[in-house]
């Protein structure tokens, strides 16, 4: 695709790159992969307007914090103008966990072990050092705002909730409350597309804009749900290798439903 018109402060740096739109995942804003420039590293650029600009701002602040603890893209430039945000980041090595699981069935066991180990590492970050709140009360408030604004994609619900409305999901969520908190530092969208693996290890994670202190099932539920495509044995193996011996089904169901609203 042709290069976009970008702010003057980064235009010169982006000259010579080949632009490609990245459509994997559902993170806020448009994502572009910049590659093919001689003797220059690949980069990623996110752009968004209005509420998506807010999402990109959230991601920028979290990237800078998470970078002290986990391998995440480095922020090269962040530009925020009236109603627009541009985030230029380094590219991480490796392939996504989803790509490897899909293309190399023989690696299923190794991939599940790697992501479980990485999640344990992530959840071991001291909660007291994290400045971001992303617990279920905070996310419920944001979800209510999204429902009222008509921003929830009801056509993208999981098969078990196919045909539901966002209001029905909201009502079902209330049946699980109150929830006893088990706070850790969460990624917030711990999906297979957001984990990069190289030589059998998770070497980075992306899309940390929802990261913050929340119940550990926020991450466990999303990863467990993603693994359903590859069979229940991998789902069970993931939970066991993470350290879950008895699944809290209410928390699992609650966080899966809550994620539908984002």
Flag whether 165 is in a domain: yes
Residues 163-169, mean pLDDT to the nearest whole number: 98
% of the chain surpassing 70 pLDDT = 98
Q: What Rg value do the Cα atoms of the chain yield, rounded?
A: 19
How many alpha carbons fall within 13 Å on the CB side of residue 217?
20
Given 49, 68, 90, the domain boundary residue is: 90
Instruction: Please give the pLDDT value at position 194.
Output: 97
* Predicted TM-score of the model (pTM): 0.93
- Please state the domain count of the chain: 2
Does 219 lie in the same domain as 164? Answer: yes
| Cα–Cα distance for residue pair 116/238, rounded to 1 Å | 6
Residue 3 pLDDT > 80: no
Does 133 lie in the same domain as 63? Answer: no
Mean pLDDT over the full length of the chain: 95
Cα angle: 182, vertex 187, 188; to 5 degrees: 80
- Band of residue 5 on the pLDDT scale cut at 50, 70, 90: confident
Given 90, 118, 142, the domain boundary residue is: 90
Residues 13-56 have pLDDT tens digits of 999 999 999 876 555 679 999 999 999 999 999 999 988 999 99
Residues 173-227 have pLDDT tens digits of 999 999 999 999 999 999 999 999 999 999 999 999 999 999 999 999 999 999 9
Q: Which of 55, 58, 189, 219 is catalytic?
A: 189
Helix (H) or strand (E) holding 214: strand 212-215
Q: Based on the residue annotation, tell me whether 22 is a catalytic residue of this protein.
A: no
Does 192 lie in the same domain as 85? Answer: no
Does 58 lie in the same domain as 33? Answer: yes
Given 61, 90, 119, the domain boundary residue is: 90
Say which CATH number the domain at 125 has: 3.90.1200.10
Question: Domain span at residue 58?
Answer: 8-90
Instruction: Please give the pLDDT value at position 205.
Output: 97
3-12, 60-69, 100-109, 183-192: the lowest-pLDDT one: 3-12
Does 101 lie in the same domain as 228? Answer: yes
Cα angle: 130, vertex 135, 139; to 5 degrees: 125
């Amino acid at each position: 695709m042709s290069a976009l018109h970008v702010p003057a402060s980064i235009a010169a740096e982006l000259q010579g790159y080949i632009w490609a739109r990245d459509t994997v995942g559902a993170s806020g804003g448009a994502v572009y992969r910049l590659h093919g420039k001689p003797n220059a590293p690949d980069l990623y650029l996110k752009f968004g307007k209005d509420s998506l600009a807010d999402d990109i701002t959230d991601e920028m602040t979290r990237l800078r914090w998470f970078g002290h603890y986990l391998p995440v893209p480095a922020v090269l430039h962040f530009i925020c103008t009236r109603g627009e945000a541009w985030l230029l980041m380094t590219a991480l090595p490796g392939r996504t966990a989803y790509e490897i699981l899909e293309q190399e069935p023989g690696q299923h066991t190794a991939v599940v072990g790697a992501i479980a180990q990485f999640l344990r590492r992530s959840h071991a970050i001291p909660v007291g050092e994290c400045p971001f709140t992303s617990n279920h009360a905070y996310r419920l408030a944001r979800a209510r705002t999204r429902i009222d604004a008509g921003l929830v994609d009801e056509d993208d619900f999981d098969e078990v909730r196919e045909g539901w409305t966002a209001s029905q999901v909201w009502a079902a969520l209330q049946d699980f409350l109150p929830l006893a908190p088990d706070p850790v530092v969460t990624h917030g969208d711990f999906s297979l597309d957001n984990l990069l693996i190289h030589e059998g290890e998770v070497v980075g994670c992306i899309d940390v804009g929802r990261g913050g202190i929340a119940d550990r099932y926020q991450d466990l539920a999303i990863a467990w749900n993603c693994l359903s495509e590859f069979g229940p044995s991998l789902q069970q193996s993931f939970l066991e290798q993470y350290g879950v011996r008895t699944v809290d089904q209410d928390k699992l169901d609650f966080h899966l439903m809550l994620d539908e609203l984002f």
